[in-house]
Amino acid sequence: MEIKAKGYLSPLSEEAKTSLWVYLKEWMCTTDAKRIGVLYLLFATFMALWGGLLSVIIRLELAQHGPDIITDASFYNALPGMHATAMIFFFIIPAFTGVANFVVPIQIGAPDMAFPKLNLAAFWILPPGALLTFAGFFMNSLPEFGWTAYPPLSNSVYTPIWGADFWVVGLILVGVSSTLGAVNFLATVFNMRCKGMKMFQLPLFTWAMTVTSFLILAATPVLTSALIMLTFERMFPGVFYFFNPAGGGDPILYQHLFWFYSHPAVYIMILPGFGMVSEVIQVFSRKHIFGYVLMVWSMIAIAVLGFLVWAHHMFATGIALNVRVGFMFLTMLIAVPTGIKIFSWLATIWGGSIKFDTPMLYATGFLAMFTIGGLSGVVVASVPVDIQLHDTYYVVAHIHYVLVAGSLMTAFAGVYFWFPKITGRFYNETLGKIHFWLTAIFINVTFFIQHWLGMKGMPRRYYDYDPAFEMANLISSVGSVVLFLAQFIFIANMLYSWRKGKVAEGNAWGDGFTLEWQITSPPDHHNFHHPPYWKPIIRQHVAADQPGGVWHRNGD
């Protein structure tokens, strides 16, 4: 069997050209950031299907009042936590990391990441972390404490099972992987930019990953510390009392530590998407982004404010009123830099020569639906409203409009956008648009009605509900099933197009002006034939991989 591939996809050795096993070993042991990025994306796709399947099981159970497909309430109790864990830690974050591994080094003119072996290690920590996290499925030992794992429910008295211990250790490994990746991205951006490129000349996706990496470095050790303390308390219940009041501990301390990570984690899961949308909109509007400097500072402001609002998840815990008011004000303040980004994207689109290919459809769909999530977030930022809506389906609707209509839509925009660069071939545009419309419509069918359920008082994470909510739950469940099935159109499109799609040129969209669009599709193993450099010349484009090549941002 002869393996035929171009660019970084081509075999590195003569033996690998005729042996599929040797070729696969090259991929498993690769230190090429582009190949590692593809591995991240494949892993994230598998975990998305796994997490999506769990959500469908949940929604099928809730489609009708009373026990239906799940007869064991304890098993149902474990599913929401397992679903959230899969989607947050093993899908969204790895998916963005995968795209960034491929794109960021090229966008700054680097041949690879700063620490290639560390990059590979960061990826290979994830699969064993996933196996540990979900080991309870194989041991009939699923933790029922949700993805938050609040004590005392998560201590060894109320959850005395090995599945809970494996879950905690698995998440610790995920934290290690994220931290290693963040260090690598920061070292790459600060030390490996091409000659002449300054920080405020970086593409916005690279800026987004830079800010996200700072968030990861600052927040992840806090969660890791909380999980380590929880592990010691579970393993040695009579010795350590970090969160046990019987020995002077405080369960609220765990919540502070958990949310000090987990609220910034929302921005870890959305800021890379913001960067992707910026890249997509300016290419398909054929205009440079409106207010580039403001866009950068708004990302930084979102990141800083994201560390100052964690206790808005704890308004119902009895913290002092003046503290709650302060966190309420800061939470609402985040709407300002977020609004700057929304209006900057709209201003970029305004007056542009717009092409509504699939990436642009996802970008504009994101603008509409993420705004719904943002507005519902302002609602629950209010202390008296949050007290009423806490732990209801309104919160479920809000977070899914942020992470599904936000992170998922932007991830699709980015994957479709860079697919010709990653594979050297175009996807099928018709299938892409069908996938978009099914996804956009059934996200709303699934989650919009959950706002009403929450306002009517339906609690989340419950095995059963009042019969009055049955029709609304049935609508949401039908939407969930169709939304899940629609993703197989995306997978089929990607697999078929990778082999049979139309061959893509270097500047696949014809209007890309960042560095990745100035080299071949797919890129070579070390990205550039000659080191590129930055020289800000207005309205002049020269191939960056040619001797003396120039890359610049129009109008700088």
The whole-number pLDDT of residue 18 equals: 77
pLDDT band at 538 (very low <50, low <70, confident <90, very high): very low
- Interhelix angle for 33-62 vs 409-423, to 10°? 140
Residue 544 has pLDDT above 50, yes or no: no
Tens digit of each residue's pLDDT (9 = 90 or more) over 38-69? 999 999 999 999 999 999 999 999 999 998 89
pLDDT (tens digit per residue) in 112-167: 999 999 999 999 999 999 999 999 999 999 999 999 999 999 999 999 999 999 99
Average pLDDT value for residue range 333-339 = 95
pLDDT at 540: 38
Residue 547: pLDDT band with limits 50, 70, 90: very low
**What is the per-residue pLDDT for 2?**
62
Instruction: Encode pLDDT of 473-524 as tens digits.
Output: 999 999 999 999 999 999 999 999 999 999 999 999 988 889 999 999 999 9
**CA nearest neighbour of 99 among 406, 483, 422:** 422
The phi, psi pair for 95, rounded to 5°, reads: -65, -45
Mean pLDDT value across residues 530-540: 65
Q: How many CB atoms lie within 10 A of CB 496?
A: 14
Please tell me the pTM assigned to this model: 0.94
Average pLDDT score over the chain: 92
Percentage of the chain beyond pLDDT 70 is 96
Chain segment 219-274, per-residue pLDDT in tens: 999 999 999 999 999 999 889 999 999 899 999 999 999 999 999 999 999 999 99
Q: What is the pLDDT of residues 359-383, one digit of tens each?
A: 999 999 999 999 999 999 999 999 9
Predicted local distance difference test score (pLDDT) of residue 1: 55
Give me the residue spans of the domains in the chain: 31-517
Tell me, what's the pLDDT at 372?
Answer: 94
Cβ–Cβ contacts within 10 Å for residue 29, how many? 10
Name the residue with higher pLDDT: 98 or 544: 98
Distances in Å between the alpha carbon of 232 and those of 219, 293, 484, 502?
Answer: 21, 46, 39, 55
Query: What is the rounded distance in angstroms from the CA atom of residue 474 to the CA atom of residue 366?
Result: 25
* Residue 548 clears pLDDT 90, i.e. is over it: no
Confidence of residue 552 (pLDDT cuts 50, 70, 90): very low
pLDDT value at position 536?
Answer: 62
**Pick from 10-19, 159-168, 447-456, 543-552: least confident:** 543-552
- Using CA atoms, how far residue 294 sits from 77, 311, 332, 340, in Å, is 44, 28, 19, 8
Provide the pLDDT for residue 545: 40
Give the class (CATH, top level) of 31-517.
Answer: mainly alpha
Tokens of 457: 């008082």
Statement: residue 202 has pLDDT above 60: yes
